Amino acid sequence: MHMDRVSRVFSALADPVRRTILEELGAGPRGATKLGERYGISQPAISRHVRVLREAGLIRTHVQGRNRWCVLHAAGMKDAAAWVERYRVFWEGQLDALEEFVLGETDLRSEKSSGAPSRKRGRAVRLGRGGAGSRTTKGRRA
């Protein structure tokens, strides 16, 4: 996987107008001129957006008569999707740990408010090793 291609995709997706153009192209091919009319954007500005999307591999263009047609090329997202997928396992694990921690805190609060004898609980999850907020073996902040 080539990082420059991934960077171009994320850069292209960073602009809300370009994301909207991609959504519109998801419904079918559109003329570049029509894309600009909908948003009140000048033709030169739309041309730049189309060029960025094309260079990122997210759309393909072709000329038919006097019109430049834009077609969604979803395969261009493949490298960016693979990059995101590599980190999904990490963030899902972090979200699971956060959920476990929050549910543990909620259980403690409901026990206190119900008058039930409270049990002292440790943290449900240790979110990091030696990072900010973690404690060393002597109880001092790392």
> Does the pLDDT of residue 117 top 60, yes or no?
no
Q: What is the dotted CATH code of the domain comprising 1-114?
A: 1.10.10.10
Q: Which residues contact 21 (CB under 8 A, 6 or more apart)?
A: 35, 49, 50, 53, 59, 70
Whether 122 has a pLDDT exceeding 50, the answer reads no
Residue 4 has pLDDT above 60, yes or no: yes
The 10 Å CB-count burial string (b at 16+, else e) for 67-103 is ebbbebbeebbebbeebeeeeeeeeeeeeeeeeeeee
> Tens digits of per-residue pLDDT, 77-96?
898 888 888 887 777 777 77
Question: Which is higher by pLDDT, 57 or 108?
Answer: 57
Q: Is 39 or 72 the better-scoring residue by pLDDT?
A: 72
Asked if residue 61 lies in contact with residue 47, where contact means CB atoms within 8 angstroms, the answer is no
**Token output for 3:** 């990082």
Q: Is 28 left (phi over 0), alpha (psi -120 to 50) or beta?
A: left
Continuous H helices in 40-77 = 43-55
Q: Is the pLDDT of residue 130 over 50?
A: no
Rg (CA), the chain: 25
pLDDT of residue 131: 43
User: What's the pLDDT score for residue 102?
Assistant: 83
pLDDT of residue 23: 93
Between 5 and 51, name the one with better pLDDT.
51
108 vs 111: CA distance, rounded Å:
5
pLDDT band at 107 (very low <50, low <70, confident <90, very high): low
Position 71 pLDDT exceeds 90: yes
Over the stretch 30-53, which tens digit does the pLDDT of each residue have?
A: 998 888 787 788 889 999 999 999
Domain map (residue ranges) of the chain: 1-114
Question: What confidence score (pLDDT) does residue 120 get?
Answer: 47
